[in-house]
Amino acid sequence: MNKLRTALATAAAAALGLAALATAPAQAAAEPAFLAASQMPPSSTPWTATKVFTGIPENGGALCAPYKIPAQNTRYREFNTELDTNGVQITTVARTEADAVKLVDTLRESLAGCGSLLERQNPGLRAVSASHGKLAVEEGAWVYSLDTADPQIGNSDIHLFSVGRDGRTVTFVRWGQMGDFKDAPLTAFRTTTKTAVSKLH
């Protein structure tokens, strides 16, 4: 009888051990982390950040890449200052790493061609997209800008974008305000991008 009890106890312990191993990956798969307001490029007024929402922002989610990022397995956070400066971070977890690579390529293509597309869609608008290179962080991040001017209403806007990847996780960051490229904090935005990708996992 004692031998039977011992055998049953050993089997139960082994089963518990296997169950713990089986659930460990699920517990370890934490959701990607997001930028804090203080990690956005410095501004003349403080940044504030919304909570992290599920899905993508309204109107397709991303300037220059609307509806390119799937809503499934995606979350986002928006950033604002007391003035006109604003931003967003959108992060998605792809089904496979190959899908993540494909999404990065799609987003990069959209950002690179955004200026010329906007000019075709909006006669009279002047829009220039530019690439600002790759950053060495995880599987890489790429930085772009969009400089727009509308002579009819006399305003100009500058936006900075980045797309980065860590394994199956892809993050898209945008910063924008009224002004020209000379007003853009490109160096600080590169730092923000590196932080965003490093924080994912």
pLDDT 10s digits, 175-196: 999 999 999 999 999 999 999 9
The residue written with tokens 């919304």 in the block is 50
Angstrom distance (rounded) from CA 175 to CA 37? 12
161: pLDDT strictly greater than 70: yes
Q: Within 10 A of 138 (CB to CB), how many other CB atoms are there?
A: 17
In this predicted structure, what is the pLDDT of residue 62?
A: 86
For residue 29, name the pLDDT band (cuts at 50, 70, 90): low
Domain boundaries, the chain: 1-30, 31-199
Q: Evaluate if residue 94 carries a pLDDT over 50.
A: yes
| pLDDT tens, residue by residue, 33-89 | 999 999 999 999 999 999 999 999 987 778 999 999 999 999 999 999 999 999 999
pLDDT at 22: 40
The confidence band for 21, taking pLDDT boundaries of 50, 70 and 90, is very low
Pick from 11, 15, 27, 39: nearest CA to 175: 39
Rounded to 10°, the helix 114-121/97-112 angle is 50
Task: Report which of residues 154 and 131 the model is more confident about.
Answer: 131
Identify the pLDDT of residue 50. Answer: 97
Predicted confidence at residue 30, as pLDDT, reads 85
Per DSSP bridges, beta strands 86-93 and 48-49 are unpaired
Residue 78, strand partner residues: 88
- Express as a percent the part of the chain with pLDDT over 90: 79
Is the pLDDT confidence value at 168 over 50?
yes
Closest among 138, 160, 156 to 148, alpha carbons compared: 156
Categorize the per-residue pLDDT at 1 as very low, low, confident or very high, splitting at 50, 70 and 90.
very low
Residue 25 has pLDDT above 80, yes or no: no
Domain 31-199 CATH class label: alpha beta
Q: Which helix (H) or strand (E) holds 178?
A: strand 169-178
State yes or no: pLDDT of 129 exceeds 50.
yes
DSSP string, 90-125: EEEE-SSHHHHHHHHHHHHHHHHTHHHHHHHHSTT-
The pLDDT of residue 8 is 36
